[in-house]
């Protein structure tokens, strides 16, 4: 009986000490350079774009904390050293410095810049992670690699 009580107490403390599952939108930088990241999403107030998160090499940042409320999120990122971009066909507004912009129309007329964001369908999952990576390939007949091509991998909850 004592053994059962000790075992039950041990299991109870393990359950209490186990971290709760995280629900958020994270971006990880698997490149060798500093990367600046902006995100776009639909909110009650309309379309929102926010930036910049500076993500150092081999680190991750949480862009949205808590369970995701939208199915679709949009990402734009720039390599701070080599100038490569992770982008897509969806036009949204950005600014030179830290920003939170409501609306995606008339970017230039409102004093902003326009950038192409890539869409991510999270499938209504509460947790999502995107990993930014470089892939350099040697050019044919040379020993010097061509400039890195930005690639993105993504992962939702349970993957």
Residue 125 is inside which H or E element, if any? none
Q: Per-residue pLDDT for the chain (159 aa), expressed as one digit of tens each?
A: 433 333 333 334 333 444 445 678 999 999 999 999 999 999 888 999 999 999 999 999 999 888 888 889 999 999 988 888 999 999 999 999 999 999 999 999 999 999 999 999 988 878 889 999 886 543 333 333 333 344 444 555 443
Say what the pLDDT of residue 155 is: 53
List of residues 6+ apart from 72 with CB closer than 8 A = 41, 42, 119, 120, 121, 122
User: What's the DSSP call for residue 40?
Assistant: E
Q: Yes or no: is domain 22-156 CATH 3.40.50? A: no
Give me the pLDDT at residue 141, please.
38
Give the domain ranges of the chain: 22-156
- The per-residue pLDDT for 30 is 92
Q: Model-level pTM?
A: 0.71
């Amino acid at each position: 009986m004592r053994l059962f009580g000790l075992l039950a107490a041990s299991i109870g403390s393990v359950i209490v000490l186990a971290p709760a599952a995280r629900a958020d939108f994270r971006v990880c930088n698997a490149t060798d350079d500093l990367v600046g990241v902006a995100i776009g999403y639909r909110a009650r107030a309309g379309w929102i774009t926010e930036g910049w998160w500076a993500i150092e090499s081999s680190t991750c940042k949480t862009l949205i904390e808590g369970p995701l409320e939208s199915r679709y999120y949009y990402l734009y990122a720039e390599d701070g050293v080599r100038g490569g971009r992770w982008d897509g066909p969806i036009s949204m507004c950005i600014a030179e410095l830290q920003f939170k912009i409501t609306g995606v129309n008339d970017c230039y007329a409102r004093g902003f810049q326009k950038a192409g964001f890539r869409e991510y369908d999270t499938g209504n999952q509460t947790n999502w992670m995107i990993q930014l990576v470089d892939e350099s390939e040697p050019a044919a007949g040379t020993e010097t690699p061509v400039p890195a091509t930005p690639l993105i991998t993504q992962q939702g909850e349970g993957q």
